[in-house]
Amino acid sequence: MQINAIYPGTFDPITNGHLDIIARASKLYSKVIVAVAVNRGKTPLFTLEERVQMVESVTTEFTNIQVIGFDNLLVDCAKQQNATVILRGLRAVTDFEYEFQLAGMNRKLAPQLETMFLTPAEQYEFISSTMIREIAQLKGDVSCFVPVVVHQRLIKKFN
């Protein structure tokens, strides 16, 4: 049975925690679509094109990963991509309430989609893109939290 999952996020920037989820999801699903969101509610550091390119560059080792950008409702994007699972990462208990509400809304909008949650490995559970941006902006070392290409892009962005 072929099951396609969609893993949405702003990925601004992609972190080692995101990569951990992608790596584990690639073993569970036939295809994983990493869907990089525009997200009008946020002002991203990197453009959509830059974020898509960074995700593509750090996922080349996976044969069943596809990276796309999207600017519509997640459930509509999932339908367009023939995904039957929405994959979400949970870092801490504080993520659960928001993610639970989001899963309920997505179920109401598209009952044929299932939401599945994965937690990152322990060493990544505290990492967030927001924290990475703040540390990098203040010239802190984020090299152990993000892939090398992302670290280089952050240094370039803030110099």
pTM of the model as a whole: 0.95
| Beta carbons within 8 Å of 94's beta carbon, 6+ residues apart | none
Q: What is the model's pLDDT at position 68?
A: 98
- Active-site position among 91, 107, 143, 157: 91
Is there a catalytic annotation at residue 42? yes
- Pairwise CA distance, residues 104 & 12, whole Å: 25
- Active-site position among 51, 129, 133, 151: 129
Q: What is the model's pLDDT at position 51?
A: 98
Q: What is the model's pLDDT at position 6?
A: 98
Q: What is the model's pLDDT at position 93?
A: 73
* Residue ranges in the chain modelled with pLDDT below 50: none
Q: What is the model's pLDDT at position 143?
A: 96
Is there a catalytic annotation at residue 143? no
Q: What is the model's pLDDT at position 96?
A: 86
Q: What is the model's pLDDT at position 57?
A: 98
Q: What is the model's pLDDT at position 159?
A: 87
Is there a catalytic annotation at residue 18? yes
Return the H-helix or E-strand segment holding 101.
helix 93-109
127 phi and psi, to 5 degrees? -80, 135
Residue ranges and CATH numbers for the domains of the chain are 4-158 (3.40.50.620)
Is there a catalytic annotation at residue 24? no
DSSP helix/strand/coil, 6: strand
